[in-house]
Amino acid sequence: MTHLHSVRADPLMVGMVKPKVTVMDHPMVVEQLSLVRDKRTSQIAFRKAIYRLGRFMAYEFLRTMDVQEFTVETPLGPAKGGQIKGRDRIVIILVLRAAIPFVEGMYKNFPMARTGVVSAWRGKPPDFPIEVSYAKIPEVGKDDVVVIADPMLATGHTLKEVAKRVMKQGRPKRLVFFSVIATKQGIDYVARDFPRAEFYTCAIDPALNDHGYIVPGLGDAGDRSFGAPH
């Protein structure tokens, strides 16, 4: 049985926003999350686990979408049928490079998704300036569901900048953030500018270190998936 539970953050000083957060605690998620946290996990196994988490999160997210019921004729008579509405209106925004295997997993349940790609770097503390070197985002319609995917929602600076660029392409019906691990601080930071956004994650960790990394987290998701750059 799938277990989902919502976590409501404390009211913020700006706009008294209460972010809508869903933490997935299904045993399969716990198992794969444990694998990516383990420092002994190999690069290949890490990447596969991130892929599986993306696939499962997308599968569970479909529960939040409307279903159109209809009657289907079986060889022996009529039966109730259903089709997910709006599955062709999903737009995935992939944040390079860590989100590549994450989004590959999501495609298994969002096969018709249009995709945008953003290459962004977070600068040094305390301001964490964001540098975007590449952004290719499709047009966004009022009936679209935009899912911004990045395994780590740490300070929130990167995802807020990405969301701002998405909004320049149009206002979606739903704005959703997918992460493997998040922090309350990062969620609150993004929610200040996007109070109606939805956050889906597998864990909310308690702290950030001085460099803006999640503690205990899992390290650098991009490096662990593809190898550390020279």
One pLDDT digit (tens) per residue for the chain, 230 residues: 444 544 444 333 344 568 899 999 999 999 999 999 999 999 999 999 999 999 999 999 999 999 999 999 999 999 999 999 999 999 999 999 899 999 999 999 999 999 999 998 777 877 787 888 899 999 999 999 999 999 999 999 999 999 999 999 999 999 999 999 999 999 999 999 999 999 999 999 999 998 889 999 999 999 999 988 77
* Global pTM value: 0.89
* Residue burial 195-230, b: 16+ Cβ < 10 Å; e: rest: eebbbbbbbbbeebeeebbbeebbbebbebbbeeee
Backbone angles phi, psi at 77, to 5 degrees: 145, 180
Decide if 125 is inside a domain: yes
Residues 149 and 116 sit within 8 Å (Cβ to Cβ): no
Decide if 75 is inside a domain: no
Cα(201)–Cα(178) distance, integer angstroms: 6
**Number of domains making up the chain:** 1
Decide if 96 is inside a domain: yes
Decide if 147 is inside a domain: yes
Decide if 216 is inside a domain: no
Strand 67-74 with 4-8, pairing: unpaired
Expressed as residue numbers, the domain containing 169 is 4-66+84-204
Decide if 73 is inside a domain: no
Task: Reduce the DSSP state of residue 38 to 3 states and report it.
Answer: coil
For residue 53, what is the domain's CATH number?
A: 3.40.50.2020
Decide if 169 is inside a domain: yes
Decide if 78 is inside a domain: no
